[in-house]
């Protein structure tokens, strides 16, 4: 019998082709709710399920599942209980590397867009409010010479640093709080001498732009809360391209409303696709629909990698990008 794949939402073509060449593919007509996905995984009808970020693959689902692997169409995998998957011998795959530059582009876009009030300015023009050049029309803040603080210093943070240095920003970082550890010059590589490591408290307090680049887990949930926001500079801008629940969104709305910080550029939200009450009404925000990786080539490459992961797992092999290789032991 050939491999049997369950695809919760169709992925771009290179991926679908690979799956179809390797076995039988069932694509659901609409994103499944939790119960539907749990029953399909428990049915014994599929070897591997190809999931999206919104598919919740938790412990109870995995305990009943009769599958060999879960291939997530994303680099992040906070929607999957990896520990439970490992305990049940179920491999998990993801798509690292291919979306680094695209996501860093969006981080820069949010930094620039928020600093220069691009959404407000665009709206003003469209609504007929542009009556010619004015000395004080839509004044924003500079980015050159200002401090970009990176929470985390993994692939996407580094790609963001590379871009920010090109814009003349001063770049500081704190690796994965709260587990700060000194990063050697060797690990810094091309950034040695160009960026500076600081502690989490200093990062919060000295950044003109604080950009989030840590994974979502129990240590980082609400890492940026009311207390952290209160310690940021009043002119600071918060940027999040990582995961929404890392920021307490209700506290952020309050901080933006009361001038505790100056603005926010968000590509991710705490309870996607819903926004915290009041967020959409705030002018000092740029809000994007989780499009960090949304370019045609990047999504095609993510599809290819997630399909390769799925095919390998269906064959009983380690996928090219395993999250929990120990599950195969």
Q: Rounded to the nearest whole angstrom, what is the least distance from the CB of residue 78 to ligand DGY in the complex?
A: 8
Tell me whether residue 103 or residue 197 sits nearer to ligand DGY (CB atom): 103
Q: Which of 15, 76, 113, 149 binds ligand DGY (CB under 6 A)?
A: 76
Residue closer to ligand DGY by CB (options 113, 292) is 292
Looking at residue 328, the DSSP 8-state letter turns out to be G
What mask, x for binding ligand DGY by CB under 6 A, covers residues 242 to 281? ----------------------------------------
Can 321 be counted among the known catalytic residues?
A: no
117, 176, 213, 243: the active-site residue: 243
Closer to ligand DGY by CB, 19 or 75: give it: 75
Q: Which is nearest to 210 in space by CA: 266, 254, 277?
A: 266
Q: Is residue 292 within the footprint of ligand DGY (CB under 6 A)?
A: yes
**With helix as H, strand as E and coil as C, how does 173-226 read?**
EECCCCCCCCCCHHHHHHHCCCEEECCHHHHHHHCCEEEECCCCCCCCCCCECH
Q: Is 272 a catalytic residue?
A: yes
Structure tokens at 299: 């999504």
Question: In whole angstroms, how large is the CA radius of gyration of the chain?
Answer: 21
Of 75, 104, 109, 251, the one binding ligand DGY by CB under 6 A: 75
Residue 74 touching ligand DGY (CB under 6 A): yes
Select which of 202, 205, 254, 272 is catalytic: 272
Asked whether 295 and 285 are in contact (CB, 8 A), the reply is no
172 sits near ligand DGY (criterion: CB under 6 A): no
Specify whether the CB–CB gap between 236 and 207 falls below 8 A. Answer: yes
Of residues 91-130, those binding ligand DGY (CB under 6 A): 99
Q: Which stretch binds ligand DGY (CB under 6 A): 72-80, 84-92, 105-113, 125-133?
A: 72-80
Q: Which is nearer to ligand DGY, 52 or 284 (CB)?
A: 52
The tokens for 202 are: 């200093």
- Region of residue 225 (left: phi > 0; alpha: psi -120 to 50; beta: else): beta
Does the N-terminal peptide bond of residue 273 adopt cis geometry, omega within 30 degrees of 0?
A: yes
- The whole-angstrom separation of Cα 31 and Cα 65 is 18
Active site residues: 243, 272, 290
Binding site for ligand DGY (CB under 6 A): 74-76, 99, 292-293
């Amino acid at each position: 019998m050939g491999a049997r794949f369950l695809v919760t939402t169709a992925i771009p073509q290179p991926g679908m082709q690979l799956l179809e060449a390797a076995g039988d593919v069932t694509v659901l007509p609409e994103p499944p709710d939790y119960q539907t996905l749990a029953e399909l995984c428990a049915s014994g009808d599929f070897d591997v399920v190809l999931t999206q970020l919104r598919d919740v693959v938790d412990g109870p689902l995995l305990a009943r599942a009769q599958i060999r692997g879960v291939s997530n169409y994303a680099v992040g995998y906070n929607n999957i209980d990896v520990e439970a998957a490992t305990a049940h011998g179920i491999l998990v795959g993801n798509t690292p590397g291919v979306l680094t530059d695209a996501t860093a582009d969006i981080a820069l876009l949010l930094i620039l867009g928020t600093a220069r009030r691009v959404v407000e300015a665009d709206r003003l023009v469209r609504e007929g409010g542009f009556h010619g050049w004015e000395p004080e029309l839509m004044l924003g803040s500079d980015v050159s010479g200002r401090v970009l603080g990176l929470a985390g210093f993994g692939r996407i943070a580094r790609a963001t640093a590379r871009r920010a240095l090109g814009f003349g920003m001063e770049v500081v970082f704190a690796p994965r709080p709260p587990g700060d550890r000194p990063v050697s010059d060797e690990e810094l590589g091309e950034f040695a001498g160009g960026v500076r490591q600081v502690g989490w408290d200093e990062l919060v307090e000295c950044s003109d732009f604080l950009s989030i680049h840590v994974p979502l887990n129990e240590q980082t949930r609400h890492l940026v809360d009311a207390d952290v926001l209160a310690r940021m500079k009043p002119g600071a801008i918060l940027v999040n391209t990582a995961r929404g629940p890392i920021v307490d969104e209700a506290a952020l709305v309050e901080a933006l409303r009361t001038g505790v910080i100056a603005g926010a550029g968000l590509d991710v939200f705490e309870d996607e696709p819903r926004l915290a009450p009041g967020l959409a009404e705030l002018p000092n925000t740029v809000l994007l629909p989780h499009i960090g990786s949304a370019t045609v080539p990047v999504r095609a490459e993510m599809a290819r990698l997630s399909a390769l992961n799925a095919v390998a797992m269906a064959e009983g092999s380690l996928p090219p990008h395993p999250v929990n290789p120990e599950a195969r032991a």
